Each structure stands twice: as structure tokens, then as C-alpha cells.
Structure 1
Amino acid sequence: MPLRTALVRLSPIAAAFALGITLSACAGTGLVNTRTQGYVIPNDAVQQIRPGVSMDLVRAVLGSPQTTNTFGGQTAWYYIETKVNQTAFGLTTAQERTVLAVYFDNNNRVAERAVYGLEDGAVFTIEGQRTPSFGQDATFVQSILSSF
């Protein structure tokens, strides 16, 4: 009987010890991981992009763009770098965003380049309503019963 009471007294201590070891393992690696998503924009490569440079040279220096836009005969290439913090629980927040936009004229030469940051963007809310579908919303059980 004394062995059983000793085990009952030691079980909360053992649980606290196991929890402490688990949390210390998380603290060593950190609960927040900072990483870069998208394209890493090197500063020396940005300096090489000047007005009059050909589209082929931009592709050679920066690589293929992530997004392109063609409007009115002019083309724009976008390179996007986002630095995010991700917690161990999967929550991701953007800390810094840099967008390099390279605008080309009708001769496929650089007309202008611009660097935009997170503060240049606009935050908008996504509408949570949904468009009703044709017919009647039915549960799984109702749809099975209606087939009989």
C-alpha cells in the first residue's frame, strides 16, 4: 500500500516534469519561425534594371516574373517577396512585403521600375455572404429521403 500512495504523489510531479521537457524543446527552436515566401529580391540585381534595358536582360538578371500584366500594349513584370512569421500553431502573419514592378514600353525595353512595400497596399475585407444556389438547400439525410 505505501508504494501505491508514493506513486499517486509522484504522478503530478512526473506530469509536470514531462510538460517542462516538452516546452523546453519548443523554446529551443522557437515558437515563431520567420521565413521568406516568393522571390528573394537581391539589391544588386535591382540596381542593374535601368530604363532602356531589354526584356531579355531583365529575365537574365531577375529570372522569370511571378506575375505579368499586359494593358494597352505595355507590359509589366512583378517580383514579390514576402517575409512572414509563422507560429508553431500554423498562424501566419506578413511582416514585410516588397514588390518589384518592371514596366516595359512597346519596344520591350524597360520604361520604369518601381519598388512597393507593404504600406503601399490597400487592405480590403472579403465579403462573407454567399450566392444562393438554384433549388433548395437540403441536408444529406433530406436528400436521401427525397430520392425515394
Structure 2
Amino acid sequence: MPLKRLAPLAAALVLGVGLAACSTGGGLIVNKTEGYEISDDALLQIRPGQSMELVNTVLGSPQTTSTFGGETAYYYVETKLATTAMGLSSIKERRVLAIYFDKNKKVKDKALYGAKDGKAVTIESRRTPSFGEDKTFIESILSSL
């Protein structure tokens, strides 16, 4: 008889241990980094006058580039997120490392931008009228028959 009373307790214990093993951080919120992780060591290695190839070797390929007037810029974006157990993510911090090159493909300057360096831009909600009429996908198919 005592074994029958201990069976539900043993099952709950096994289930609890199994679920604890599936946990990814031991808590309800997991912190992670998306994009390029900007380290202080990498920042110290990049100095004015260095070649674009050396920057590619030290930092890897940039996430985006910009070329204007013969000068190039590399951008590395780091986003730190907090993800809950329910899958909801919130941005804790975002930093952008910008490396500017001159026309000779040598490092001219570097900058590390954060949220305080950004500028809020309002998105215009008005629509520009266009010629013709807007049709749905089905209306387009029916009108072509």
C-alpha cells in the first residue's frame, strides 16, 4: 500500500527534474545578443591608417556598408535582447560601430553610437495619390479574364 501512495509523488519528481533539465537559463528571462558582439579588444585594434582588409580580418564582414563620394563606411550592429519564457523579446540596448574609410581604403575614423546618439523620426502616414486604381489580387485576375 505505501508504494501506491508514493507513485504520484515519484512521478511528479521525475517530471519536475525533466522540466528543469529543459530550462535554458534557470530563469524566466534569457539575455542574448543578436548581430555583431562589439568587444573592447576589437575596438582597440582598429586605428586610423589601417587597411580595409585588416578591418575585415579583425571584425569580419560588416552587416551593412555605405559608399558616398568615394568614401566607404562599415557598420556593425549589436542588439542586446531580453527574451521571456513565453517568447516575448524586448530590446535592452542597441549599439552601432561605424568605421569610416577614406578614398584610399584606409581607416579615417571610428565611432560607437548608442540610443542617446539617435534621433526620433516621425513616419508620414499620408499616402501619395497615384494614377489608376488600386485593385486586390482577385480583382486583378478577374479583370484580366
Q: TM-score, normalised by structure 1?
A: 0.66
1:57 equivalenced with 2:54 (yes/no): yes
CA distance in structure 2 between the partners assigned to 1:129 and 1:31 by the alignment: 41
Distance 1:92 1:124, change over 3 A: farther
Cα distance, 1:88–1:129 mapped onto 2, change above 3 Å: farther
1:42 to 2:44 alignment: no
Residue 88 of structure 2: aligned partner: 91
Task: Say whether residues 1:123 and 2:120 are aligned partners.
Answer: yes
Q: Deviations along 1:6-65, whole A, 9 cap, x unmatched?
A: xxxxxxxxxxxxxxx8xx978x84332221110011211110100001111101000010
Matched, 1:114 2:111: yes
Q: Distance in 1 between matches of 2:35 and 2:103?
A: 28
Aligned residue pairs, count: 121
Question: Which of residues 68, 76, 83 in structure 1 aligns to 2:65?
Answer: 68
User: In the superposition, relative to structure 1, how do residues 121 and 136 fare at CA in structure 2: closer, same or farther (>3 Å)?
Assistant: closer
Distance 2:81 2:134 in 1: 42
* 1:77-136 deviation digits (Å, cap 9, x = unpaired): 001101011233443221111111000001110000111112212233444556678436
Q: CA RMSD in A?
A: 3.1
Q: Secondary structure at the match of 2:43?
A: helix
The unaligned stretches of length 5 or more in structure 2 are 1-15
**Cα distance in structure 1, aligned partners of 2:67 and 2:110:** 15
Provide TM-score, normalisation by structure 2: 0.68
Secondary structure of 1:44's counterpart equals: helix
Mapped to 2, the partners of 1:81 and 1:123 lie a distance apart of 19
Give every structure 1 segment of 4 or more consecutive aligned residues whose post-TM-superposition deviation is greater than 6 Å. none
**Paired residue for 1:135?**
133
Three-state SS of the structure 1 residue aligned to 2:53 is helix
Distance 1:103 1:131 in 2: 36
